[in-house]
Structure formats: C-alpha cells, structure tokens
Chain A
Amino acid sequence: MDLANHIKPEHIFRDLRVRDWTLASEMLADAVAAGAIDRSGSSVMTLDTSAGESSHRAPLFIAPGGAVVHDRRAHVTDITFALASLKEPLALPDGDGAAEVVLYILSGPERSAWALKAAGHFRTLLAEEGLRERLSTMSREALHAWLTGLDLRLDAPVLARDIMRPPLFKVFADTPVTEVTRLMEKHRSNAVAVVDREEHIIGEITSNRLFKLGIPEFFERLASVSFIREFDPFEHYYTQTGQARAGEVMTTDFTVLPEDATIMEVVFTLTVQNHRKIYVVRDGRRVGVIDRVEIINKVLNF
C-alpha cells in the first residue's frame, strides 16, 4: 500500500500548461483515466462518467508552492495519483499563494484516509525532499523509481504532519501588535504563534486575547449594553494595546504536539481539551499548525 504503487510513470508530468484549476484538474483526471496527455497538454480521453460526479476538486494548499487536488468519486474503489509541475504557477484560492507542483488524487470515499496520508507524504516530499527540483531534472521513470524507493505507506496511521498546514507568516516578540492584527486579518487567522528566530514557539496571540486586552473587564460582566446609544470609547480602550508589541500581549498558554502525534490525539486536544489551535513542532521548532476547522474540513472532505 505504497503511494508509488498507485502512480504510474506516465502519470508524472513536467511543465504542464494550464490556465486555471478547473482545467488542471480535468486534464489530470482524464490523464489518470486514460493514462495519457498529448504533447500540447490536451487530454485524449475523459474520465468515465459512471465513476460518479466529483464531490471535491478545489485545490488545497499543502506546502509552499504545492497543492493537492482531491477528486473524490462515489463509484471509484481504489486510489490513483498524478503528479505534475506547472509551466506557470497557478494562484491558489483563499490567498494561500501560488502552486507550481500539483498532486492529483482520484479516489473513492473508502480511501479518504489514504488520500489524507498521501497529501501528508506530498507535503514532506515538497518541503524536505526537493520534489520540485526533482520534477524539473529527473525523467518520469527515474522519478518513479525514486518514489518507489521511499517509504510512502498509505495505510499507515494519519499523523499530525499529514494534516497540518505550514505557517503562513511569522510573528516575533518585537512585532508591533498593529502588524500582528493586520497579518491575522489578511490570513483570516484567529490565533498566531509568537516565535523566536529559530522558530521556537514562545507564546500565542489570539483575537480573543486582543479583544480582552482592550475591553475593560467590567464590560464582560454587563448583561447588555444596548441601552447606551451614544458612547463609543473603543479608540481610548485600545490605545495601550495598539502601542504594544507581540511579546507584551502574548500568553504562554498554547498547545503543541509533535509531528508524529496521531489524528486521535489531535482531535482529542482540539475537542475534549478545548484548544482552538495546535502548533506542530519538530525538535521544539514549529513546522505546522492545525486548527479545528481545518481538521474537520480534511476529515469530512478528504
């Protein structure tokens, strides 16, 4: 049950020319179905419609420069992959940058865990094994042989490193809070780790924490404030917070898990222990993050 067993050399493409993600996923889907794409980048066959409608084909940001397109179809029983480097990077939705390397996964609902595991392997190959460079320098056969030589088991337990996403930005202790809030808003993040220059996590800033720093405590004890119609002292309330730096407002109450933590541990930490975000660390250094919505999305949609 190895990833390499489910990808043929002819499913590995270099410098694929596509204009958008729909086209990219259609081409790769057809290639997996037919086993070929012609030289111009056009597919020669289309995926058998009896395999059912695709339930999810939006590209998912998996690591800087890389995305996964998971094509889940009701009547597909096995799992098949295609791997492609793109001639021109394609912008990812949700402002997650652009992808130059795509892993396409065609699977049925029963292979969701394998798909999740494959996405994890893909992230590691991109981030740590130089997959992007190998795609541009190695032949299909050589790359396939290289993949075959790696331990890319699909039926291994899903671990934190398989479902985490890379940190999108860095906040240091001396980053002004105004910059932190700008980055949090840009990346739609409710919590962010504060790290040192070696990526050791030293604290966490949450939007809830920032709110509470500005709002006086008595505010929370009121049953209602709607009766006050003309009084908005918030500029005054947040004066101090706005002038602070990350190190002054962070809390040290954050949650870390090693990258080999099981999905069970991750879910337990997020739900039973009621943490909103988990920072995944290797040797004490942050390598990824997992939050509640992400894990629910991956478990439900993968």
Chain B
Amino acid sequence: MTVLLIIFAITYALIATDKIDKTIAALLGGGLAIGTGYISYEDALRAVDLNVIFLLVGMMMVINIIGRTGGFEWMAIRLAQAARGNGLVILVLFLVATAVISAFLDNVTTVLLMAPVTFLIAQILEIPVVPFLILEAVFSNIGGTATLVGDPPNVLIGSATGFSFNTFLWHLSPVVVVIGVVSLGVVVLVYGPQFRVNPALKDRVRRARPELAILDHRLLRWSMVVFALILLGFFLGRPLGIEPGLVALCGGAAMALVGRVSIAHVLERVEWNTILFFVGLFMLVGALEHNGLFDLLGRQMLSVTGGNLLLTCLLILVVSALASAIVDNIPLVIALIPLLQSIAPDFAQSMNITDPALVQSTVMYPLFWSLALGACLGGNGTLVGASANVVIAQVAARNRHPISFAQFTRIGLPIMLLNIVIGAVYVWWRYF
C-alpha cells in the first residue's frame, strides 16, 4: 500500500505542478498501479467510467460541429446590438450567455468559443479585455456547476452516483442562479465604470450585420435540432435507462450525419489527451479504492467531524473549494467520490435510515452537492484552479494581453469566497 500511495502522491504532484504533461503523468501512474500488482488489469479497466468518457467525447464532437457554423459569432454580435453598444450591458449579457452555455457545454470549450468574439467586441468598443476575459472564465465555472454535463466534476459525480440530469438541475441550478445574480451585482458595482463606451464607437456595433456571421445555415439549423434532442435525451434519459454518455455519443454521431460533416474530421478535433487523462486517473484511483484506502480515509474524516453530517458537508465544501483553487479539480473529485461513497452508509446507519431513497435524499445529496459546489466553484479562486482559467490566460497571452496570477486572483478569489458562502448557506438551508 505504501508503494501505491507513493505512486499516487508523485502522480498528483506531477499533475499539480505541470512538471510533465498531465496526461502522461496520469497514464504512467495508472500503468504503474497495475504493473506493481495493486490492481489487476481487468479491475483497472472496470474502474474506467465509460459513461464519463462517452459523455466527454460526445460533447466534444457536438461542440466541434456547432463551432464551425458561425453561430457563436452571430450570438455575440446580436447581444452587443441588443445592448446598443453599452459596454456594461454587453459585459453582463456576455457573462450570462457564458454561464448558460457553460451549463450545457464544457467550460473550456465555452470560453474558447467566447474569447475570440469577446476580443473583437472589446477592440471595437475599446473596452478593457482582461477583466472581461477573467470574468468570462469565472462565469463559465459558475454556469458549469448547474448541470450534470456542465463541468467534469459533475459528470464524474453524476456517473458515480447515478443522479440524473434532472436531479442535478433541481438541486444545483437554483443555487447557481442565486450565485450568478449576486456575482453579477458585484461585477456591475465594481467594474461598471471601466466599461463605459465612447458614443461614436457604438455605431460600429449598430452597423454590424449579424446575419453574415452564419457560415452554414443548414448545418446550424440541423445542429440546433440535434442539440435540442440531446438535451431532451439528458432530461428523459435516466428514467428510460439511457445514460448521458450514450446520449452525447449518439448525439455527436447524429449531428455529423445530418450535418453532412466528415466524422473523421470531427473525431480529429476531440481532445484525446483529456480523455486519456481521465482513463489514467480512473485506473490509479481505482487501485486505491481496490485496496481500501477510501474506507480508511472515510473513517478518519468521520472521527474528525464526530459523525456530524452538516459539519462533514461543510468540511467537504470548504476543503474541495480551497483544494480546487490550487490544483486541478478533476483528480480531486475522482479521488473524493469513492471517499464519500464509503462514508455515506455510516451516516445512514447512525441515522437509522435504511430506505435507499431516503438515504439518497438525506445523506447522499448534501454530501455530493457539497462536493460539486466546492469543486466547481473553488476553481475560481486562482488562475490555475480550473481548466477554463488556464485556457483563457493562454488565449489572452497569445493576443498580447497577458493575465497575471495576481490579476486573476484579485477578481476570482473574492467572487469564489462569496460563492462558497452562498453554497454553504444553501446546503445548510435546503438539506438540514
């Protein structure tokens, strides 16, 4: 077990410090765990959650197809026109759009799609682009918290627990709406003066012709139809026994078919390094679970919190938020899920609950929503806390507007702390 823990610690350290590519670190970590005999190859394969893998691959295919239609550019310029070129209104509308899109698409992809049009609009209206981009990353992380498919931690939690898309929506979206509205209020108060636009420049937006942004009307129409069907599949899937992974994968294939897009080209753009990163981590954490580490850690956690569920939830929320602000939240959640699954029966037993439905609503929900809120929202704390932050910083640097760690933290950390407080109040108010 000691050797396995060393492998785990080194792998996570390499992932956290970016000393080597995180996919390579995860795959070598997983491979070593199998090679040293801590888990059989068959068990390691079983530990790989194909539902998560399929969901990620499928949604990457979907985004790839939608991205080439010009629909995002159309939406952005329509929003700018709806705001009549008012910088602050544009900021608010873009942040709301980012949050809503992030709820249904991967955060990284959302900011990658929003960043170019944000740059363009910011240059046209001569408004500061750096705070705009930072806030987009922050709001993509907020929006992504709302649904099962919005952020990888939720994908992982949903697959591991069996919570449906609707369950996520019912339990997380209300608090995300509150968090979003409160955060927007803060943004308006703090950043309003920076986003004033010279009236002469507003004409540039007024004279834009959004209809010209759409490159392929047919593809856009069909991709929207299929995307709506995918969302319907998410809503109805679990009751029908159809997992989100299957819905996304088949949705991506169907979109390529009806859109007449080469499936080979679509698959080329899937981020296979991310997919294999997940595979490696699943195998490594599977080895730890296989060897009973999480039972052990679970008992330790219970002894710290004295078996108090509220205290345990708040501990999970705060610890996962602080940890996510510093390290990648994906490996954190992959490691914490089996931990929470191991302590849930203990709480149920201590509360004399045996009905599975009651165990779920009384014990599982507060535990896992705390983890989801902490892991997703905690990423806003620093520049390296979430993939979307890192990606937006890379895009900004490539466009001669570097975002420093301090710049991001000044904006992200206060919003993250505010959000965590709101999340904690929500968990306490709704589940205790």
Chain A residues in the interface with B (C-beta under 8 A): 216-219, 221-231, 233
Taking a contact as CB atoms under 8 Å apart, the answer to whether B116 and A218 are in contact is yes
Interface string of B215-249 (1 = CB under 8 A from A): 10000000000000000000000000000000000
Least CB separation from B77: chain A residue? A227
Taking a contact as CB atoms under 8 Å apart, the answer to whether A218 and B400 are in contact is no
Q: Tell me which of A218, A219, A227, A233 contacts B213 (CB under 8 A).
A: A227
Taking a contact as CB atoms under 8 Å apart, the answer to whether B123 and A224 are in contact is no
Taking a contact as CB atoms under 8 Å apart, the answer to whether B209 and A223 are in contact is no
A-side contacts of B123, CB under 8 Å? 231, 233
* Whole-angstrom CA separation of A229 from B208 in the bound complex: 5
Q: Tell me which of A219, A225, A227 contacts B74 (CB under 8 A).
A: A227
B84 at interface (Cβ–Cβ under 8 A)? no
B72 at interface (Cβ–Cβ under 8 A)? yes
* Whole-angstrom CA separation of A219 from B399 in the bound complex: 9
B-side contacts of A222, CB under 8 Å? 73, 116-117, 120
Q: What number of B residues sit within 8 Å (CB to CB) of A?
A: 31
B382 at interface (Cβ–Cβ under 8 A)? no
Q: Tell me which of A218, A223, A226, A233 contacts B115 (CB under 8 A).
A: A218
Interface string of B251-291 (1 = CB under 8 A from A): 00000000000000000000000000000000000000000
* Whole-angstrom CA separation of A64 from B425 in the bound complex: 83
Least CB separation from A236: chain B residue? B123
Taking a contact as CB atoms under 8 Å apart, the answer to whether B115 and A221 are in contact is yes
B-side contacts of A228, CB under 8 Å? 77, 120, 124, 204, 208
A-side contacts of B214, CB under 8 Å? 224
B379-429 interface (Cβ within 8 A of A): 395, 398-400
Interface string of B46-67 (1 = CB under 8 A from A): 0000000000000000000001
For the complex formed, measure the closest distance between the CB of B62 and the CB atoms of chain A, giving whole angstroms.
16
Taking A225-B120, A226-B213 as given, write out 12 further A-B residue pairs in contact, using a Cβ cutoff of 8 Å, ordered by the A residue number.
Answer: A216-B400, A217-B398, A218-B120, A224-B70, A224-B215, A227-B74, A227-B77, A227-B208, A227-B211, A229-B208, A230-B204, A231-B124
For the complex formed, measure the closest distance between the CB of A299 and the CB atoms of chain B, giving whole angstroms.
31
Q: List 22 A-B contacts (CB under 8 A).
A: A217-B395, A217-B398, A218-B116, A218-B395, A221-B112, A221-B395, A222-B117, A223-B68, A223-B73, A223-B213, A223-B215, A224-B212, A224-B215, A225-B73, A226-B213, A227-B213, A228-B120, A228-B124, A228-B208, A230-B207, A231-B124, A231-B204
